[in-house]
Structures are given as C-alpha cells and as structure tokens.
Structure 1
Amino acid sequence: MTGPIDSVAIVGGGFSGAMLAARLAERGAPSILINRTADFGLGVAYSTPFDGHLLNVRSARMSALAEDPGHFVRWLQDHHPSLADPDGFAPRRLFGLYVQSRLAEVEARHPGRIQRRIAEVAAIVPEGVRLDDGAVIAADAVVLTTGNPAPRTAGPAGSSNAVVPDPWAPGALGRIAADDDILLIGTGLTMVDVLLSLNAGGWRGRATALSRRGLLPRGHRLKPDSPTSPTEALLSGRLSTRLSEARRLSDLGGWREVMEGLRPITARLWGEADLATRSRVVRHLRPWWDVHRHRVAPAVAAVIEGLCAEGRLDVVAGRVRTVTSDEGAVRLDWTPRHGPARPALGARWLIDCSGPGHAPDADPLTAPLIASGRARLDPLGLGLELDPGGRVLNAAGDPDSRLFVLGPPARAAFWETIAVPDIRKRIEDVVTALTAQA
C-alpha cells in the first residue's frame, strides 16, 4: 500500500478499536470497525453482565476523552446518578454501555465515517484484511486492536471436561455446582473475577489458587492517594538501586503513593530502558509490579480477603508440572516455590486464570507477518516491535506506515497498555500518525 491514507481497517471492536474509530471520525477520517460479534465497544473486560465486576480505576480517570476528564462521571450522573462518585469504582458493565454510547454519538454526528462489520479477520494482506469467508476489505492502513487473548497455561488438558481453559468463554463457569471444589491457575485479576462471579452465584466450595509467587492483587484505598514525586535515584541508574529507592520512598510515604507518582511516566521509563533492564523487569519484577500497579476496588479486595479468612481460598506459590483429569475430577502436580515437595492438588474443576496468553509468533494474524518480515517479535517475546507512534517495525527495523498496533498487544513497546488512561494516550498517538498521512 502506498500513497495517502484514505481508509483505515480496525481489527477488534473493544474499547481500543471503538474509541479509535470515534476519534478518527472526529478528525475527519473514515474507518471500518471489524468485530467478531455485534457487541461493539465492549471487548472481554466490559462485556460482563455481573455488576460485582468493578472497574480497577476510579471513575474520575475513566473518561474516554483525554481533554475532558469528567466525561464518564457526567455520563454516570445522567444515566446512573447513584453511582456517579468520581472517587468510586463503577461496574464494568456500565463502562461498556458508556463506550457504546460514545461510539453511537460520534456515528450520529459524523454519519458514514464509521462502518461496522461483524466478521472474523483471517489475515492481514497488502490490500487490507482478508476475512474468514475469503472476502477482502480494502484499506490503506490496518490497526490491530485485538485485546487480550485467552489464557494458555492449561495447554492440552484444556480439552478435558474437568478443565475450564477460558473462563471468559460463554457459559464457561455455568457447569460448576454450588459445592464443587476448584483449582485456579493464576492468582491475578482473572482469578479475582472468577471468584467474584462464583461467590455471587451461590457457590459454597473451596478454592486453591496457584501461581509462581502466590501474590494477590492489592486493593485501593477508599480515597485517592497523593502521588510521591519520583526522585532522581528512582528514575535512573541500576535497577537494583532504583528498587531500593522505591522501597525507601514506600517506607516514608506509602507504596501506593510511589506507584501513583510513577504511573504517568511508566511508558517513558520502559522506552528508555535497555534490553538487559527490561529482561530483569520481566523475569523478576513484573509479578510484584502487577499486583501493586493494577489494584482492585476496596469492595472487591474485601470479598477476596473474606474468602481467605473463611478458609475457602488457599493461595500457594509454585510451578505447574502436569495437569491430568477425567470426567469427574482434576489433578495438578506442582513444584512449590520454597520447601519440600507437596502432594498433588485435586478438585472437581480446574480453571485457567493465568491471564492473557500473548504469543504473537503463534497468533494466526501476527505469526504470518513475522514470518514474512513485515513485522518482528521483540527480543523478550512480549509482542511486536513498534515505533513510538504505534507503527509496526519490519524485520529490518523500519516502521510500516500502514500497519499499527493499539491496546494490550502493544505491551512490548509501551509496557502499560491495559488501563484506559494509558490506552487513551496511545489512541491520540495513532490518530495523529494516521491523519498526518491523510
């Protein structure tokens, strides 16, 4: 594809894709928004029907518009006034409705600039995208906004009727009876969501959750935390020295305040880090970063703490060795992180809550791009390499002005690409890059 960009194909219609389409329309650029289902704007995170699944970010920070921080709170005031607390954590279901509302409003103001297409994209091709029925949608540029993939840790055992390989699949948790005991691989946000759903539905069983370090997401305080300004020692030098400084500052003013101070500059710090530093972060620091950075609402933390106190949730640290199952039970052999060998874990069900199974070199859309040299995998295997504007780098390291990545799949380049405030910034960068070429 050469010449100016007159049309954009957006692959994935969740928050990232829908809000990119809206922003492009407001800048006068047409797009085709392609989604597997008719639920444009929701994605996995905001398609939950359960109001106990709360946002992990306060409502005051969840505006879809960077220049209008109060946009989401005003929407709540208009449609759900009892939940319009700027410091509160609204149900994710309502945020999904908000995203859909904004998309519809932009479509009404700019008719014809956004085309919705319900389809499965099979491949990225020079002409644009090819659908699974063989049809080709022509586009001058393609933006991959495919969100988070399903977990992969359960592996071949996922075909068993006693294993739930993707807790977000429709009806995935419906087979679990009220008194069934369960095993969970992973102790992060997905595990939290699963336990919230089951507990609210009357489940009374026991759960054992296993992860490499046995860490649970931390909770927010009821009120926002004032950021601690990062010191020079926190921003530069050896990673071990910076970590010591973070601990010192946490002892002085609180770790939440330190994380708040780092939040606006995390992507820049990641971009400035050399490969060795990034590797150490991924291998050693990421689990600790995740549970402190991606916190849960106070009410959610209280439920998880309650399950632990009741003896219904046991969290263990170790590695999965093998998973075997039959129709009535599942067995997990594991190696403890510390101490002697422990007996295998057993339950009626095993649920893979290990988080997004990003594997760009095995993904049907990105693997062919890597194989052909149109894209390249970053050295740590986190995702495709991108330039600061979100353009995909080819095998030679040159940016492709017709191919972009936005949202969670862009984590190799920006690290923080999950929360709405971070994605919102990336949307503006991609829109600027696309419209500058139009």
Structure 2
Amino acid sequence: MTKSVPHDGIRPDDRPIAVIGGGFSGTLLAIHLARRGSRVVIVERDPQALGHGLAYGTCGPQHLLNVRAGNMSAFADDPGHFLRWLGVDEADAANRFATRATYGTYLSSLLATARATMPDRIAVAIAVARDIAPAPGGTLDVQLDDGTILNARAVVLAQGNLPPQRHRALDGLAGSDVVPDPWAPGALDAVSPDARVLLVGTGLTAVDVIQTLQARGHKGPIMALSRRGLMPRAHAASGPSVTPQPMPTARGSDLLRAIRARATQVGWRHAIDELRPHTQALWQAHDGAAQARFLRHARPWWDVHRHRMAPALATRIESLRARGDLTVVAGDLRRVERAADGTLDVDWRRRGTNGSVRTAVDAVVVCTGPGGDPSRSRDPLLQTLLGKGLARPCPMNLGLDVDAHWTLRDAGGQAALPIHAMGALSKGLNWEMVAVPDIRLQAQRLAEHLCRTQGAVPA
C-alpha cells in the first residue's frame, strides 16, 4: 500500500471496500465480500486482535460462550460449520458451550483460510483510521494514522463495542485500583488476591470479571452492585427445541403481557427464544417514545433473560454467593472517595431506602457493559465523522444513526455517502445486534447489498 493511492486510471468499481475493524464483524463481512468477488482491505489497529477482536481474544479457559456451540456457526446458511470445525457431532451440541478462546481461534482460522485461498481479494492494513472524505468518482478516501490514503468505493465501520462509559461517581478518581474498562489489557493485574472488590454492574461483564478474578486465585470478598441487582439467568441444562411462531401482533404493554402469558404456558426460556426471529422487527415496530420506555423500565429484565450464562458458569456463581464470597445488591452508587489510608470509601443507597450505606473496598471495577453513545467514544474516526457532520448518534444513543441498509445518516439526516456501520454500532436500528447469530446474518446481508449497489470485481 502506497502513501497515496491515485484516483485516475482505476475504475471506481475496481476499488476495494474498506472495513474498519478486524474483529468478528469485520472479519465475517470481509469473507462474505471476498466470496462474492469484491476486494477488501481490513483496517485493524491491533495485530493481536485481527480475526477475533476483543471479545474472543484475551479470554481464559474459564470464559465460556453464552450461546450453545450449535448456534455459533459464523455462517447463517451453514449452521453446522462451527461444530464440524470443533469435530463434534451435532447430536452432542445441545449442551456444549465452547470457550471464547476456542471461538477466537475458529474465527482466526476462517480469516487465515480466506486470505490464503483469495490472496488478491483480502488485504490487511495494521493502522488506525482517522478520517473519511469524499473523493472523485463517488469513492471515499480513508486517512490512516501512518499517512496512507486508502481510496475505497465503500467503507464499513465494524469497530465492535464502544468502551464502557465512566461512572459519574468515579469522577476525579485515578489509579490502578479504579478500573473503568475491565477489558483493557492488564486492567485487573493490580487487583490483589485479598482485595475487597466492588463491581459496578451485575450483568455478563461482571460475570466475566468474577471468572477472571477467581482464575487468578482471588480470595477477597466481591460485592456486585446495580440498580436492580439482577444477574443473568442460566441456560437450561439441555438445549431447547423451539417451533417457529408468528410475530406477535401486540405492542407496548400488551406485548409484555403476552410474553408473560406465553412464559406461563411454555416456560420463560422457551417464550424468549420464540421471539428471537422477531426481535429486530418488534423493536422497529415501536416508535421512539415506546423504545425509550422499554430502555427505562424493561431493558434490565430483558437482558438477564435474553443474554444468559452457560449452566456451568451459573453453578460457579451460585456457589460463590452461597459461600458468601460474592454479594449481589440492588442500589445506586453515589460517590467513591479515597480514604486517608488509601482505600476507597464507597457511598451507596440500597434500593427502596433513603439511607446511605458506606462500604470500604480496595478496588472498584466498572462492569456496566459496553458504551452506546458514540459522541462519548474515544475512537478517533468516530469523533472525526461526528465532528464533520458525516455521522450522528441514533435517537436512543445506542449507536450511530443508520438507514435500512446500515448506511450512516449525516447531521442532516441524509444517507448520502457509502459509509456503513455494522454490529454494535448499528444497535439503534436493530436493537439485537451484538450476538453472533444476529451479526452473522447482518454480515451476509450487508455484503449482498454492497456487491449489488457497489459492484464487485469479476471472480
């Protein structure tokens, strides 16, 4: 790749598609595009994350997937692909939860195979994308941090989850005992085995942090705090067999009552699983006011029932709670201050009360999950696009505002340039767009759209 790619003499449809991000979303999209004859350049800042990203990279053997292996194929049209790669029989898949590290190896192998078999179609640039600007012929110039200008016929933002947003109670605090992002490299290294730890959040991120600490021999007490004190529910011991159901016709509160009634009939897991094919359509069928009400009141309950733990993880968590090593409480975090002895003084209010509770801890780890508001992201490309008005946050601040083909809407609401977002960045349109079964279908459909509208190099 040269420092500047000339625009003249090369047809726009011979230009590559630039995919920003080499994790699960970007890898899968690149493979789909290459299979359809398009040339692709994956721009990834971290060579260690290429092919699997953060979610499936820095994980220990204690970190299990939250979805059964039978539903973790990277390809929607080949549901048994991951199982064949594992070398297990499909009949054995109902109760199998592979490790996330294993899944990361699977994704890396897919990219390596695709690059080996289609070397002229998939290239990789280890760099940071900083800007995108319109170029002649309807193409786009992607500016990289090493000075390279990559001319592309379309760009797809696939950076994955945004970093967690810092809790306001931690403003002004710094030090290795305050961990704003537990997935940052080495974030938990300074937490001693005997430390009294506060986890801010009780969802799947908290479960991951607990598993990491336990794998390191942690013996100190752990308190997990969230507004409702809800932890993810467990998958059933054996896999479900769900008969396809039509999309519910009820909306709003009537829909919630219908789901509860269905759960009474068939069990809550079955009732939630029946909604999987319809979740995105149901989200889009509600207006902004209804979506906001869902986020305020129902989202925590949806999250813990929809995004579950593997049974083995749930057993470990319950054992820790039974022994008193883990305490889960519902309440609001008010302030965290550093005490004279260097420890952290936590001021919080138990849910349903007005009084203040003071708890001394040695470390605080923010486990509230990925951020959603792109305007608060530190990603240089997102900040540039927002600053130039080429992108805007979605109305619910769950990601970027996109149209039905995941094309970015600019500050004026127009989807004028071939810049697309996928995965977590498109959550505002789709709501459910963070799990493998959702993203793999999006990657296939987006590749089909790009090849249909942007053309493809003949195979």
1:112 aligns with 120
1:11 aligns with 20
2:67 aligns with 57
1:399 aligns with 415
1:98 aligns with 106
TM-score under structure 2 normalisation? 0.89
Contact 2:75–2:441 (CA under 8 A) maintained in structure 1: no
Displacement of 1:292 in angstroms is 0.6
Contact 2:399–2:424 (CA under 8 A) maintained in structure 1: no
| Distance verdict in 2 for CA 1:101–1:323, change over 3 Å | same
Alignment pair present for 1:260 and 2:273 = yes
SS in 2 for 1:410: helix
Contact 2:94–2:238 (CA under 8 A) maintained in structure 1: no
| Distance verdict in 2 for CA 1:352–1:108, change over 3 Å | same
1:260, 1:140 → 2: CA distance?
39
SS in 1 for 2:228: coil
2:360 aligns with 346
* CA RMSD across the alignment: 2.2
1:76 aligns with 86
1:82, 1:380 → 2: CA distance?
40
2:271, 2:109 → 1: CA distance?
35
Alignment pair present for 1:88 and 2:96 = yes
Greater alpha carbon shift after TM alignment, 64-73 vs 386-395: 386-395
1:135, 1:6 → 2: CA distance?
15
SS in 1 for 2:334: strand
2:342 partner amino acid: G
Give 1:287's match in structure 2, choosing from 300, 304, 322.
300
2:374 aligns with 360
1:387 aligns with 403
2:4 aligns with none
Contact 1:162–1:328 (CA under 8 A) maintained in structure 2: no
| Distance verdict in 2 for CA 1:372–1:167, change over 3 Å | same
Displacement of 1:231 in angstroms is 6.8
Task: Give unpaired runs (5+ residues) of structure 1.
Answer: none
Give 2:225's match in structure 1, choosing from 179, 190, 210.
210
Greater alpha carbon shift after TM alignment, 271-280 vs 90-99: 271-280
1:339, 1:253 → 2: CA distance?
36
2:401, 2:334 → 1: CA distance?
32
1:352, 1:119 → 2: CA distance?
28
2:357, 2:102 → 1: CA distance?
43
| Distance verdict in 2 for CA 1:75–1:396, change over 3 Å | same
Contact 2:333–2:348 (CA under 8 A) maintained in structure 1: yes
1:361, 1:61 → 2: CA distance?
34
Structure-to-structure mapping, 1:25-36, within 5 angstroms: 25-36=34-45
SS in 2 for 1:344: strand
CA deviation map 1:328-351 (0-9, x unaligned) = 321222233212313222211001
| Distance verdict in 2 for CA 1:84–1:53, change over 3 Å | farther
Displacement of 1:287 in angstroms is 0.8
Contact 2:392–2:401 (CA under 8 A) maintained in structure 1: yes
SS in 2 for 1:171: coil
Contact 1:59–1:73 (CA under 8 A) maintained in structure 2: yes
Contact 1:12–1:33 (CA under 8 A) maintained in structure 2: yes
Displacement of 1:128 in angstroms is 2.8
Contact 2:165–2:376 (CA under 8 A) maintained in structure 1: no
SS in 2 for 1:130: strand
Alignment pair present for 1:152 and 2:171 = no
Give 1:306's match in structure 2, choosing from 285, 301, 319.
319
TM-score under structure 1 normalisation? 0.93
2:423 partner amino acid: G
How many pairs align? Answer: 434
Displacement of 1:114 in angstroms is 0.8
SS in 1 for 2:376: coil
CA deviation map 1:115-170 (0-9, x unaligned) = 11111222233343222233322222111111112222345355223211111122
SS in 2 for 1:204: coil
Displacement of 1:3 in angstroms is 5.6
Contact 1:158–1:164 (CA under 8 A) maintained in structure 2: no
2:393, 2:263 → 1: CA distance?
35
1:167 partner amino acid: P
SS in 1 for 2:357: coil
Give 1:223's match in structure 2, choosing from 238, 244, 255.
238
1:35, 1:158 → 2: CA distance?
31
Report sequence identity in percent: 41
Contact 1:228–1:257 (CA under 8 A) maintained in structure 2: no
Displacement of 1:365 in angstroms is 2.4
2:432 partner amino acid: E
1:384 partner amino acid: L
SS in 1 for 2:375: coil
| Distance verdict in 2 for CA 1:15–1:83, change over 3 Å | farther
Alignment pair present for 1:187 and 2:196 = no
Give 1:424's match in structure 2, choosing from 433, 436, 440.
440
| Distance verdict in 2 for CA 1:279–1:69, change over 3 Å | same
1:84, 1:38 → 2: CA distance?
34
